[in-house]
Structure 1
Amino acid sequence: MVANQQTILDKLLRFLSSLECGLVLLGSLGTAVIIGTMILQRPMTQEGQIEQVYAPQTVRLLNALGLFDVFHTWWFILLLGLLGANITLASLERFPQVWRLFARPHTLADEWYVRQLPFRREIPLGFHSPAEALAIAESRLSDLGYPPKPKSLEKGTLYVEKHRTARLAPYIVHASLLIIFVGAIIDGLWGFKGFVSLTPGARTQSVEAMTTGGAPRDLGFTLRCDGVGMERYTDGSPKQYWSLLAVEDNGHEVIRKTIYVNDPLTYKGVRFFQASYGPTGTPHQLVFDATWTGQDGKQHPAQQISLQPGNPAHLNDSGATVELAEFVPDFVLDGNQISSRSDEPRNPAIQLGVTSASGKHTEVWVFPKAQQMAPPNPSGISFELRGLEMEYMTGLQVAHQPGQNLIWGGCLLLTAGLMMALYMSHVRIWGVVGRDRKGQPALLLGGQPSKYRESFEKRFNELAGELEIALSAAQAEIGEAISA
């Protein structure tokens, strides 16, 4: 039974490390990424945007499948883990042989070994002894940027090597992909994107998550908004929004910063981006001129009152109290009902509650831009709007991505690995003294690249030509010396 279980496990590991499994997983992951790109994702959409684009039945189906937040679903994280396991097992299976070649390169050669190499040249020694020929070749190759290894030269082998690290390029790429996958899994499990709206003076310790489930996420600290605003160009058009934010941790303010669209506040790995700015639909303060006719028939001078939500104002001479009952910033009639088209105070409708000195309560509607629509005023007090200051809020996009450093580090390592794999070739050249095809003493030169054979062949022939010239020149000098 144990042997059977081991056999099944071996088969499973063999399949998981296979190229076929890797291709299936890579295709599935690519399909998931395409789906996540084509379908709107909750972390990147505005509130209500998905419901506007898709039919209700489609929303329910895609939501059930997790396709509105692909990159945080359990099955996407599982695909990343399985592909990472495939890369790890495949690398472990092939890496020992590559590491042996990297750590213990074959530096010594004989005549037979050189003749088996794909690129070979025979260079006559002439009058030179083997030691002299090797010394001349070593000097010339060093001048050309291909210095032979001294230890091999001492044992009679001219060994030149360049870019040995290129052998490790595939495994650097694999390691970088694993690092990226680990970062993505960490983001998928513990990261989130959220949104929060704050008015000046407001605080929050949590944000509404924009990912699947939508449960509020605890920040672990308090975020306070001290101010919001908008900068304008000289022509009055909006330039940029800003928010003055502060972070309180354990009851103490630890950081305070004015953020802009591309300049977020970061604390404990949580980033707050300026996303939007606008009115809340609630007035901060309204200023009215109130006039009324007293019991003596005389009209009293206008009294200016300021109203804020929840703070009534008093008309001193009449003894009446006025409070804000309802505010519609941009009213429109929908049948017999008043509703608002937006939160901007383009066409406000204001309902005031008036309580007279005798305790009688009446309601008054004020339409500053459409006075003809105002119903009869039973209070006997006329109100004219003189000033309106809206309450503004800032919209903050919140991102906690604990795996981002790993992802960026993996991307840098991936770039390095790809550069090594694409532009570096492990080049090895051996040279030994032996006999050429005519039985004469010769320097037998052989080389082998890991890739780019055509480029290597050209360079190998150039180096061999340089060595032949160097040996011939040295031989000519000896001949001249003998003649002299």
Structure 2
Amino acid sequence: MKDNFKNNEQTSKNDDYIICSCGQKNEPGTQLCISCGRMINEDYDKKKIQDVMRYDGSAVRSKVRNKTIIDKIWNWFASIKVGVTLIALTAIAAAIGTIFPQQYFIPVGVDPSIYYKENYGALGELYYQLGFHNLYSSWWFIVLLALIALSIIAASIDRGVPLFKSLSNQRVKKHPSFYSRQKINESFPAKNLNLKDVESQLKLQRYKTRQDQGHILAEKGRFSRYGPYINHSGLIILLIGSMLRFFPGMYVDELMYIKEGDRKPVPSTNREYYVENKKFTAENYDASDGEAFQQAIEKSQGMIAKNYQTDLTLYKNTSAMLGESDELKKVDEGSIRLNHPFKFDDYHLYQSSYDQSQMKTMTFKLIEKSSQKQIGQPFEVNLDNPKEHYTINDQISIDIKSYVPDFKEISSQGSLVSKSPNTINPAFVFDLNEKGEESEYSFIKIKEAKEISEGNHYEIKFDGMTNHMATILTVKKDKTLPFIFTGFIIFLIGVFIGSYVNHRRIWLNISDDGQTLNLAAHTNKNYFGLNKDIEKMATQLSLHKGVENNVDD
């Protein structure tokens, strides 16, 4: 049998399609006629048959169209090299994002621009300026994810649609040259062989069969060809779920710092919900808890956490309009312990940590310098809301002229400057008034006291302090999890189908003289298994291999 592909009688072309000699109209770029299986493009040969059969010889848009701007954009997104490059860039960015801690993990209330520079130097400052401190919410990282999604979609449509059309419209009868180009191409003596017997044996091996004019197509596992596209669908859903996290109301992961007795709005609820820290409890293991903890206790100097617990009350804002005074209604109460969150609506409150660094009160005593005797009773200053006036006795009173919660420096105008609103390093300017005497001024902070006025008769000394017990809660809300779980499951299904299911096809026909059974077979993987199927069929039908059915190209 001869099939001269260079002969103009075999194929003809016009601007819209290619007409095979069998009369079938094929899309431009088609390598194998979708009807008879003839090779249309004469530049392909047997060595390239695997490439041709990947999409069953159908035309891939990105490989045949490159005229308009739309074609060029489409081809760019559909390129496998572009997709791999985008994934590599995203992976590199994610790796750089792990060099220093993300902003979420730095101390609460600290300015990140200062934190990264002070702790990591010039490299940390550059890290902050480039936006790596908030990598996963940065605009350019989201753009990378979107480009990957577009690339996956374009590549899947570009290759998946032609493959689907080709497999859905397979013809049973193929030209002899199609047989000769398959990796498995055999012939068997077939005198008195009935094609129905061949078909029955293939059906026993779970092949779906079709007959047409003495030709048979047996096929199984077609769905495996769509495994990569199922993977792509899962990845796209995963990426959509990831990008939805940047839309308001879809994802919340923030910290709440609440001092014992304080009430604060829950982040990202638009002041709809408030939480009050009724009490915080921190318990550590000690020697009485048994020998199992003794070694760990000794290494950590007795600080092994046993239980962190926040007792809280949840309130809902019932104000009719935004901006009105908050009208809070108690809706629930409970406790938060490690790994036991407090839940309401779509929110989960987790126990993250606690803090005792902020001071609550400071106590001072007044000492007469000449006798070193204490005058009156010590007075206590509430650092969150200090009073201005304190009475020591009938003759002496003390006023606070200036106060900062976290002393940094004294400005050029003589006022106190604070680093932060947190009560970490309080500083005061006290004005002592005694009847009949001039005012005495003193500057007081922890471990330091200075007389501002000259000739003071009294000194104010630090006498004690108490600290706030504050809880640190993580507020979580995630409406993207259904997308992420669904995408992940679909991805795994695609991996399984693509890895463990094979698409196997066998074409058979009996020669015109009825003496030879011609067979060609193809699979996308595992030719060993396909050969076993053919051998099993041949054994059951008592067929013996003849010479290969070579066809002159």
TM-score by length of 2: 0.58
Aligned twin of 2:227: 169
Residues 115, 64 of structure 1: alpha-carbon distance in 2 compared, 3 angstrom cutoff:
closer
Aligned twin of 1:204: 264
1:241 aligned residue (308, 331, 353): 308
**Is residue 2:109 matched to residue 1:42?**
no
Letter in 2 for 1:26: I
Aligned twin of 2:89: 28
Aligned twin of 1:74: 139
CA distance in 2, matches of 1:382, 1:67: 47
Residues 274, 318 of structure 1: alpha-carbon distance in 2 compared, 3 angstrom cutoff:
same
Contact 1:121 1:464 in 2 (8 A): no
**Is residue 2:523 matched to residue 1:449?**
yes
CA offsets 1:179-205 (integer angstroms, 9 cap, x no match): 233233332454564333101232222
CA offsets 1:225-260 (integer angstroms, 9 cap, x no match): 332222322465332423234443334444544333
Structure 1 segment 61-140 matched on structure 2, within 5 A:
61-106=126-171, 108-109=172-173, 112=176, 114=179, 116-125=181-190, 129-135=194-200, 137-138=201-202
More helix by share: 1
CA distance in 1, matches of 2:179, 2:343: 62
2:537 aligned residue (456, 459, 467): 467
Residues 133, 51 of structure 1: alpha-carbon distance in 2 compared, 3 angstrom cutoff:
closer
Residues 102, 66 of structure 1: alpha-carbon distance in 2 compared, 3 angstrom cutoff:
same
Residues 258, 122 of structure 1: alpha-carbon distance in 2 compared, 3 angstrom cutoff:
farther
Contact 1:232 1:238 in 2 (8 A): yes
**Is residue 2:122 matched to residue 1:52?**
no
**Matched residue SS, 1:38:** coil
Aligned twin of 1:212: none
Residues 289, 131 of structure 1: alpha-carbon distance in 2 compared, 3 angstrom cutoff:
same
Shift of 1:100: 1.4
Structure 1 segment 243-322 matched on structure 2, within 5 A:
243-250=310-317, 251-267=328-344, 269-283=346-360
1:224 aligned residue (259, 275, 298): 275
CA distance in 2, matches of 1:229, 1:38: 35
**Matched residue SS, 2:76:** helix
CA distance in 2, matches of 1:33, 1:419: 28
Aligned twin of 2:501: 424
Letter in 2 for 1:54: Y
1:409 aligned residue (483, 486, 490): 486
Residues 444, 9 of structure 1: alpha-carbon distance in 2 compared, 3 angstrom cutoff:
closer
Residues 266, 408 of structure 1: alpha-carbon distance in 2 compared, 3 angstrom cutoff:
farther
**Is residue 2:234 matched to residue 1:179?**
no
Letter in 2 for 1:117: Q
CA distance in 1, matches of 2:437, 2:266: 44
Contact 2:217 2:508 in 1 (8 A): yes
Contact 1:111 1:444 in 2 (8 A): no
Contact 2:285 2:304 in 1 (8 A): yes
Aligned twin of 1:214: none
Aligned twin of 2:323: none
Residues 398, 75 of structure 1: alpha-carbon distance in 2 compared, 3 angstrom cutoff:
same
**Matched residue SS, 1:68:** helix
Shift of 1:177: 2.6
Q: Percent identity?
A: 20
CA distance in 2, matches of 1:128, 1:9: 55
Residues 274, 17 of structure 1: alpha-carbon distance in 2 compared, 3 angstrom cutoff:
same
Letter in 1 for 2:265: Q
Shift of 1:96: 1.8
Shift of 1:72: 1.9
- Structure 2's unaligned 5+ residue stretches are 1-66, 287-296, 318-327, 367-372, 406-425, 544-553
Contact 1:281 1:328 in 2 (8 A): no
CA distance in 2, matches of 1:7, 1:125: 55
Letter in 2 for 1:462: K
- Structure 1's unaligned 5+ residue stretches are 1-5, 208-216, 291-298, 330-347, 474-484
Contact 1:324 1:352 in 2 (8 A): yes
CA distance in 2, matches of 1:390, 1:327: 18
CA distance in 2, matches of 1:92, 1:393: 55
**Matched residue SS, 1:204:** strand
Contact 1:307 1:323 in 2 (8 A): no
Shift of 1:355: 9.9
Letter in 2 for 1:85: L
Contact 1:229 1:241 in 2 (8 A): yes
Shift of 1:134: 3.8
Letter in 2 for 1:118: K
**RMSD over equivalenced CA pairs, Å:** 5.5
**Matched residue SS, 2:469:** strand
Residues 77, 465 of structure 1: alpha-carbon distance in 2 compared, 3 angstrom cutoff:
closer
CA distance in 2, matches of 1:382, 1:131: 109
**Matched residue SS, 1:228:** strand
Shift of 1:172: 2.0
- Which deviates more from structure 2 when the two are superposed, residues 75-84 or residues 354-363? 354-363
Residues 284, 243 of structure 1: alpha-carbon distance in 2 compared, 3 angstrom cutoff:
farther
**Matched residue SS, 1:147:** coil
CA distance in 2, matches of 1:468, 1:75: 60
Aligned twin of 1:147: 206
Letter in 1 for 2:255: F
